[in-house]
Amino acid sequence: MAAIIGATATFVTAVIQLTANARRQAAERATGKPVSRKSGSWLVTFVLVLAAVVVGYGLSEYQSFSQREDERMLREEMQMRLRDISAAAVRLERAGTEKNGQAEAEARLATERRRGIDGVAAIISVSACRASKAGSAQTPAACTEDLALRTTLCAVVPASATVTEVQLFTRSDDGQQPWEEARVQTGQESGAAKFVDAYFERAPGKESKEVCQHFAHWNSQQGRSARILVKYTL
């Protein structure tokens, strides 16, 4: 636009000068004075001015085109650098995420291993056994082992865990005895109650499994609490 304006101004100025020169020559002819002539004709001057305008406009356009080409190359280079920076940022972010994820996984594994060493506990309370033949209100009918209440006590551990030990405990429902002092073995009777059979595993989900132990209770005087402590490794 600047080149067009400059060329137009030059062209208009030249036309005005040529027109003024032509009028002056016409006035001299009308008064009978000899016509003053400049070197060269006005047509040649017009052609030279027009050629100068065209050449000037062409040079301006060429310079403008060169600048646009430089700007285009600069934009492409900047875009390429921005893509490189974005790719590097993505790689750094991914590496940081993977590192954080690995650190979190290691922390969870260490926590789970400590949990396995300490053991996972499960507790259940069983009410007093009631025989099918009722006794008096003061003296309930006694249960026998054949009529014992049977239940299953389970602790939840990771699916990949290897069970190393299952500790068994039982005490009266209202007792204050520490669990450490109430430990028993499978099949050992304590207060008309005992753990029966060996422990077994079952997997309700992909990430965890249950370690279970059967418990039988036939005390008709009071309830009973049972506890298992499962230790494992990963």
Cβ proximity of 126 and 224 under 8 Å: yes
Residue 39 pLDDT: 44
Residue 43 pLDDT: 64
Comparing C-alpha atoms, which of 99, 96, 5, 85 is closest to residue 53? 5
Cβ proximity of 208 and 152 under 8 Å: no
Cβ proximity of 184 and 195 under 8 Å: yes
DSSP-derived pairing of the beta strands 224-233 and 149-158: unpaired
pLDDT tens-digit map of 149-191: 999 999 999 999 999 999 999 999 888 889 999 999 999 999 8
Threshold 0.75, pTM exceeds: no
Lookup: tokens for 104: 């979190």
Q: Which residues of the chain have pLDDT under 70?
A: 1-7, 32-53, 55-63, 65, 132-141
Element (H, E) at 214: strand 208-217
Q: What distance in Å separates the CA atoms of residue 153 and residue 210, rounded to the nearest whole number? A: 9
Q: Is 166 helix (H, G, I), strand (E, B) or coil?
A: strand
Residue 196 pLDDT: 93
**Distance, CA of 220 to chain centre:** 58
Residue 68 pLDDT: 76
Residue 125 pLDDT: 92
Lookup: tokens for 89: 């940022």
Residue 182 pLDDT: 93
